[in-house]
Structure 1
Amino acid sequence: MFGGGAQASEQRAGAMIAYLRDIVLAPPTRFERGHAIFLNRESGFLGEAACGIGTMTTLAIRMRTLLGEALRRDAAGIILAHSHPSGHCRPSDCDIAATRRLHEIAQALEIRLVDHLIFTDDAVYSMRAGGLL
């Protein structure tokens, strides 16, 4: 996913997951929190941006703002992450619908939605690995 050998790639992916976990699970943990990482064509780090803080059960991500930031950075890829303070790591129907819509719009802009990760205190769910992207 991030270039280099398989072991180096796994280490980078693990470090990125740990980094995103720390961000989206930062206090106050009773609200859903979103964050995005922007990648270049070689999957290198270009930057990041908070995507907001929602309620206990929802997070409204403004796609226009998120994709505008990706375009401003000339990003080729986005990794999106958000927390589920409820402790349920599976995506909600709203999460799935919003992710699919973001994927379609990003694709039209030649930006790849690499993954959408959902974090709880003790788990992480990858929408890509789960077949939802």
Structure 2
Amino acid sequence: MTSGRNTLQDSNIQADLLLEGQSPDGEPHGSDVHGATGHRARLRARLLKAGPEALADHEILEMVLFLAVPRRDTKPIARALVRRFGSYAGAIAAPIGELRGVEGLGEAGAAALKIVQAAALRLAKAEIAYRPVLNHWDRLIEYLTAVLARERVEQARALFLDQRNRLIADEVQSVGTVNHTPLYPRELIRRALEHHATAIILVHNHPSGDPTPSPEDVAMTREIKQAASTLSIVLHDHVIVGNGKWVSLKRLGLL
């Protein structure tokens, strides 16, 4: 049964290649020798046969842009994105204002990249939804890293948990500057009560890339822990996310 499906898939790929200007072996066919159409078909065929690992960062970006920029060669745009932002991940995480500055990308292309980012974050969040997050710590860190590691300014978030430590809500509490973001204990506790949360995990990022907690981070964490405890709300941890690194104040013995 599997063999039949593979044969049908290969036949469909070959038909697409012929229709879009190249032969089934991946070589250009007919008058579309230098056309973008044949190039798109080759990328699609490689993706379907070998998987996404067979594609470079700029090639994945090209494929993302195929639908958003249907009548233009997207290879130069994709290469420009990688040059400017360093990688596929850097491109889709780039601020919309900076994406607009990439020649040829346009509003449709910028929107395509941001919807890919949104889809990736929702998939990561789905991995921790409705589960006790303390028992799925690695997945929680993957989600928090995806959300915060590439932010250009500090952002403080709160994860509100129920009595089984399942995620109720993940909310941005404040957005600050490159090295500071305010966090207001009274507002945080008010939101916890509104969610009927029994526990909280605090999270914020350090855009410098170094997640080492500052004395102010430690002092604020302890203030929030004390305020929460008066209402029987547990502060499980405060996670600080850097660039490819993270720290837990609880694991450091600072909570």
Shorter-chain TM-score: which interval? 0.7 to 0.9
Note if contact 2:159-2:200 (Cα within 8 Å) is conserved in structure 1.
yes
- RMSD between aligned alpha carbons? 1.8
Aligned residues: 125
Note if contact 2:149-2:244 (Cα within 8 Å) is conserved in structure 1.
no
Structure that is richer in helix per residue: 2
1:53 correspondence with 2:175: yes
Distance 1:18 1:68 in 2: 28
Distance 2:251 2:190 in 1: 26
Kindly indicate whether structure 1 or structure 2 has the higher relative contact order, using CA contacts under 8 Å at least 6 residues apart.
Answer: 1
SS in 2 for 1:37: strand
Structure that is richer in strand per residue: 1
* Cα deviation, residue 129, structure 1: 0.4
Residue equivalent to 1:127: 249
* Cα deviation, residue 20, structure 1: 1.5
SS in 2 for 1:115: strand
Residue equivalent to 1:18: 142
Question: With structure 2 as the length reference, what TM-score do the two structures score?
Answer: 0.47
Distance 1:25 1:90 in 2: 14
SS in 1 for 2:143: helix
* Cα deviation, residue 60, structure 1: 0.3
For residue 35 of structure 1, the aligned residue among 157, 166, 169 is: 157
Unaligned runs of 5+ in 1: none
* Cα deviation, residue 126, structure 1: 0.1
Residue equivalent to 1:111: 233
Distance 1:59 1:66 in 2: 14
When Rg is computed on C-alpha atoms for both structures, the one with the higher figure is: 2
Residue equivalent to 2:132: 2
Note if contact 1:36-1:49 (Cα within 8 Å) is conserved in structure 2.
yes
**Stretches (4+) displaced over 4 A:** none
What letter matches 2:132 in structure 1?
Answer: F
Distance 2:146 2:226 in 1: 28
Note if contact 2:145-2:244 (Cα within 8 Å) is conserved in structure 1.
no
Note if contact 1:99-1:116 (Cα within 8 Å) is conserved in structure 2.
yes
1:77 correspondence with 2:199: yes
SS in 1 for 2:213: coil
What letter matches 2:147 in structure 1?
Answer: I
